[in-house]
Structure 1
Amino acid sequence: MSSIKIECIVKDKNGIGESPVWEEKAGSLLYVDITGQKVCRWNEATKQVKMLHLDAPIGSVVPWKSGGYVLAMDKRFAFLDWEKEMVTDIATVDQDKKNNRFNDGKVDPAGRFFAGTMAMETRPAEVERAQGSVYSLQTDHSVVKHFDKVDISNGLDWSLDHKIFYYIDTLSFKVDAFDYDMQTGQISNRRTVYKLEKEEALPDGQCIDVEGKLWVACYNGGRVIRIDPETGKRIQTVKLPVDKTTSCCFGGKDYSELYVTSAADGMDEEWQRRQPQAGGIFKITGLGVKGVPPNSYAG
C-alpha cells in the first residue's frame, strides 16, 4: 500500500483534538480541542483554522440541520450559533456527578445526537471508573439515558443498514456492537466485535466506510486500524507520526480522505520533542476506500 500518504494539515497543538466531522457544503473539517475548550474549523481551500473559545471542556460537536452546531460540552447539550458565537443550553445530564464531562458523540441516521460521559482525568489517562453514561439528545430536545457504568465513553457509529450501533468504552480495550432500532433509537444485545492487541493500546474514536468496515483511532498506539466487525479481524493498520491518535472521519470532495485528530496532553517535553506534530490534525490519502457522509442533528 505504498500509495498511502499522511500529511499534517493543522500544526496547532491541540490538548485533546477530537470529534472530527466533514462539512461538505463548506469544504471544511470541524473538530474540537476538549481541554483547550475550543471548537475549530479547518477550511480546505484556504488551509486556515477558525477557532471559538468556550467556557468549558467540549467533548464533541455535530452539525445541526437548522444551521450552526450542537455541542456535548461539560455536562450539557447546547446549540452553538457559530456566527454570533452564542451558546444556548438545551439539557443537562449527570447532575449527581460533579466531576463528569461529556466525551465523544455522533448523530444517528434518524438525526438524534448520541454522546457519552466520563469522569474528568485527575492525571492524564487516570479516571475514576464506571462513572460515565451514554445518552441521546432526541429531536424533541428530550434526553434518553441508554446505559451507565462506562469508564471512558468514546467512538460510535452505525452500520450501513442502520441495524447495528458500534460503540467503544476505551478502558474495555474493545469495540462493541448493539442491535439498533432506528425508529425508536433503542439499543440492545451488547456484544464484542473486536478486542485490541497490546500494541494497539487504547481504542478511541471510530468511523465506518462504504464497505461497512470500521476505522478505529488507537490512543497511545499511534495508528488507525481498519477492522471487519463481522469477522472480528483487523484488515489494515496505518501508523501515524504521533502516539496519541484520538479519532477519525472521512472527508474531502468524495469522502476518500481520512482525517485523524491527535492529542498533546500528558506528553512530557522529551516526548513532544520526539513527536513535534503531537496534537496536530492529519489527512490520510490513498486508502482506496471511501467513507460515509455524516448525519446532522434534526431537532
Structure 2
Amino acid sequence: MSSVKVECVVKTRSDIGESPVWEERDDTLLYVDIYGPSISRWNSLTKETETMSTETYVGCVVPRRSGGYMIGEGTRFAAVDWDKRSITTVTHVDTDKGNNRFNDGKVDPAGRFFAGTMSMEVWPAELERGQGSLYALQPDHSVIKHFGQVDLSNGLDWSPDHLVFYYIDSLKYMVEAFDYDVQTGGTSNRRLVYKLGDDEGIPDGMCVDIDGKLWVACYSAGRVIRIDPQTGTRLQTVRLPVLNTTSCCFGGKDYSDLYVTSATRGMNEEALANQPEAGGIFKITGLGVKGSPPHSFAG
C-alpha cells in the first residue's frame, strides 16, 4: 500500500475554487473561481496558470467536443472560446429568479451538460432555501429541468456503468442516487446513498473512481471522503491542510492523482494566517485508485 501524500500544487488564493477538470491533451487542470469570477488553466508541466475573466459568477466549466468550453455562469449556459477569450450565451434558465446562479456542473457519458442552480449566498452556505433546480443542456441546446426545490445544487457524477447518477444538494447533508437512462438522460428512483456525520462538514463537489466509489469534498471539514455507494459506508478519509475543500477530480498520468480545490470566502485574517494554502489546489497521490477521463459536451 503506497503512502498517501497531499501537496498544494496551485498556490492561488481563490475566493471559491471549484469545478476542477483534467485536460489530458495538454496535461492541464481546468477550474473556476466562482467569485473571481474567472476560468483558469493550470499547466502541470510548466506550473503556469492562464486565466480569463467571466462576466459574472461562474459555477462550473466543462470541455466541449467541438473545441473550447461550456460554462454555467449566472443563469446562463454559455460557450467559451478560450483562444479569443470570448463568451457566447447559449440559453438562460431560472429567468423568473433574479437572485439565482449556477453552481456545480458536469457532462454525462452521452455529452449532456448537467448543472444546478442555487440562490445567491449571503454568507457561505447561508441562502434562501429551495430556489434551485437541476438542469441538463442537451446537444441541440434545448434544456431539460430534472427537478426543482433544490437548496444548494452541488456535486454530481455517474457510475462507471452509466446506470446510476449521483447528486449532492449540500444543505441536505447527504449524497443521493438516481437510476439513470443514458439513452434518454432520464433520472428516476431517487434515494439516499450516504448521510454525512457531524464531523464531515458540508458535502460539496464529488467524483467517481473506476471502482464505482464516490469521492466527496467536505466543505468546512478539510477533507475528502471515499464512500461505497452500495453499502453506504465511508471507506477512507484524506485530510487537507485547509478547511474549505470544495471539489475534486482525478487527473495526471493514468488518472491516478486526485486534485482538490478550496476556498477562502468568509475567512477572516486569523483563519487565513493559520491556513496559508487556503484557496489553493491540492494534488493527492498514493491513493491506489484511478478515475476516468471527463466527458465533453456534444453540442
Residue aligning to 1:158 = 158
What SS is found at the alignment partner of 2:295? coil
Counterpart AA for 1:59: G
Residue aligning to 1:189 = 189
- The answer as to 2:229 corresponding to 1:224 is no
Question: Could you give the per-residue CA deviations for residues 185-210 of structure 1, whole angstroms, max 9, x where no partner exists?
Answer: 01011000000011101000000001
Residue aligning to 1:40 = 40
Counterpart AA for 1:255: Y
How many equivalent pairs are there? 299
What SS is found at the alignment partner of 2:6? strand
| Per-residue deviation, 1:124 | 2.4
Structure 1 unmatched runs, 5+? none
Residue aligning to 2:28 = 28
Q: What's the TM-score once normalised by structure 2's chain length? A: 0.99
Distance 1:160 1:290 in 2: 12
Distance 2:237 2:165 in 1: 23
CA contact (8 A) 2:111 2:139 kept: yes
What SS is found at the alignment partner of 1:254? helix
Residue aligning to 1:236 = 236
Q: What's the TM-score once normalised by structure 1's chain length? A: 0.99
CA contact (8 A) 2:19 2:104 kept: yes
Residue aligning to 2:174 = 174
Q: CA RMSD in A?
A: 0.7
Distance 2:31 2:242 in 1: 18
Counterpart AA for 1:38: S
Residue aligning to 1:87 = 87
Distance 2:242 2:17 in 1: 12
| Per-residue deviation, 1:123 | 2.1
Counterpart AA for 1:54: T
What SS is found at the alignment partner of 2:247? strand
CA contact (8 A) 2:2 2:288 kept: no
Distance 1:127 1:79 in 2: 28
Residue aligning to 2:116 = 116
Question: Could you give the per-residue CA deviations for residues 215-272 of structure 1, whole angstroms, max 9, x where no partner exists?
Answer: 0000001000000000000000000000000000000021000000000001111111
Distance 2:123 2:274 in 1: 22
| Per-residue deviation, 1:85 | 0.5
Counterpart AA for 2:222: G
| Per-residue deviation, 1:11 | 1.0
Counterpart AA for 2:20: P
Structure 2 unmatched runs, 5+? none
Distance 1:281 1:290 in 2: 19
Question: Could you give the per-residue CA deviations for residues 102-149 of structure 1, whole angstroms, max 9, x where no partner exists?
Answer: 000000000000000000011222110000000000010000000000
| Per-residue deviation, 1:2 | 6.6
Counterpart AA for 1:20: P
Among all aligned residue pairs of Structure 1 and Structure 2, give the percentage whose two residues are the same amino acid.
66
Residue aligning to 1:249 = 249
What SS is found at the alignment partner of 2:255? coil
- Higher mean Cα deviation, 68-77 or 117-126? 117-126
Aligned structure 1 segments of 4 or more residues deviating by more than 6 angstroms: none
- The answer as to 2:54 corresponding to 1:54 is yes
Counterpart AA for 1:129: R
Question: Could you give the per-residue CA deviations for residues 52-77 of structure 1, whole angstroms, max 9, x where no partner exists?
Answer: 01110000000000010000000000
| Per-residue deviation, 1:295 | 0.2
